[in-house]
Structure formats: C-alpha cells, structure tokens
Amino acid sequence: MPIALHLLGRVDYSPIVTAMQEFTATRLPEAPDQLWICEHPPVFTQGLAGKAAHLLMPGDIPVVQTNRGGQVTYHGPGQIVAYPLIDMQRAGYYVKEFVYRLEESVIKTLACFNVTGHRVAGAPGIYVRLDDPGSHALLPQRPMKENSGSEPFRCAAGSDPNIPDFTGLGKIAALGIKVSRHCTYHGLALNVAMDLEPYARINPCGYAGLRSVDLSTIGVSVSWQEAAELLGQKLLIYLAP
C-alpha cells in the first residue's frame, strides 16, 4: 500500500501535532500511511525528556511542550519538517530501523547536492563536516556495530557513546519521533535556508555548543520547494515496507 504524500506548505505547529495525534489514535488497520511535509513559523519545541536548562533565552519565540522524544529544538521558515505517519507493524520494521531509514533518506537527499551527511554515535540526526561538506571520509565518531553483541553500537574512536563528539561538525537535520500502537508520528527536520540565530537561544537537542547549519550556510542554493519534493521522494522510497 503506497504512502500518501501531502505537501502542506507553511502551517502552525500545534494544530499539526493535534492532527497527527488524532489520525494515529483513530486510524484503522487498513488506513494508508501518510507523509506530511511542511514548514512552521518560528517555534521552540520541547520533547518529553526536555530540560528547562536547555532553553537559554527563548525571547519572543513561543515554546511548545510536545510528546515526541528528545530535547529542545527549533522550527522556522526555510526548514523542511517531515511527519511520517507509518504503521510499523504492517511495514515490517522496528523503531531502530525506522530511525535508520529516516536518516538514510536525509543522507540520500544531501547527496543530490554533493553534500555528505554523517551519523554520530549516540546522537540521532545528520551532521556535516564544516570544513569540507562534500567529504566522504568516515567520521571517527560514527556508529559501529560491536562484534560481541552485548552493545549494538559503539563509537568508532572507542570513546563513551553517551558523550557524542561534535568536533568539526554542524547539525543539519534533527529527529524526534513518537510511537503509539505501533504507529509513528512527529519526525524529522532538514535545514535548507533559515535564520539560524534562534539556535543560539537553546542548547540544540540538549547539547551545549552544538552548531546548527543549513544548506545555504554550506554553499548550497536550492529552494524550499525543490528540496522538500526531493526529501519527500527519498522518504517514500526508504520508508516503503
């Protein structure tokens, strides 16, 4: 059953969250999966585990408590926000694979602009090298499978995976999901061409000093619409059963 793609344009954050919750709570087993893609007016969103200390000086930007995973992040014009509403039980994958598929969709989208997206052990999301965004060189802090099987992933450099290393990196895409009755909502955000100043008002995703970047910052000129359509197509491919 194909995923229905909806490009919603710019919409307020809270009504979208309410609509996702209602869709997920009432969907029937035969209901087709959906993918909503939009952008939001400026808003800080605080996840279930969010700590007030990571909100440094929100100022005139509203802060919304939400039920996704993770800490505080920022949404604003020039950012693509994708909300996959997926029945994982029907699709045949679990949460870790779902997250992997989301990240892979972003990585493949960035590759179309000659940008290499990277994963960092212990820190969901996608990162780019600030000195050379197109570099394919593997990060020492990338996730690696353990041979012992006792821990599914370790940091390739052997450091503590609970303390991610962001040296030389900027975060270009953030993830925060919720799963209810095997069905997903919330999702991911990819920075295209934004006012990045609001990120200085928070510790993004709970990490002090983590730099947030967008495609424009690293030299890629692309419209929101073009990038949104491309990310949507990659998500349709990588979230398929």
Residue with tokens 């007030």: 52
Q: Which of 38, 155, 183, 205 is catalytic?
A: 205
**First-residue to last-residue Cα distance in the chain:** 9
Structure-block tokens of residue 192? 């295209």
Pick from 78, 85, 63, 167: which is nearest to 123 by CA? 167
Give the HSE-up count for residue 58: Cα atoms under 13 Å, Cβ half-sphere.
Answer: 18
**Residue 41 CA to chain centroid, in angstroms?**
17
What Å distances lie between residue 30 and 6, 26, 232, CA to CA?
19, 12, 22
Q: How far apart are CA 99 and CA 125, in angstroms?
A: 9
For residue 107, give the 3-state DSSP assignment. helix
Contact status, residue 84 vs residue 106, Cβ threshold 8 Å: no
Q: How far apart are CA 164 and CA 199, in angstroms?
A: 19
8 Å CB contact between 196 and 181: no
Residue 205: active-site member? yes
Of 230, 188, 185, which is closest to residue 31 (Cα–Cα)? 185
Q: Dihedral, CA atoms, 142, 85, 206, 12, nearest 10 degrees? A: 140
Residues designated catalytic: 205
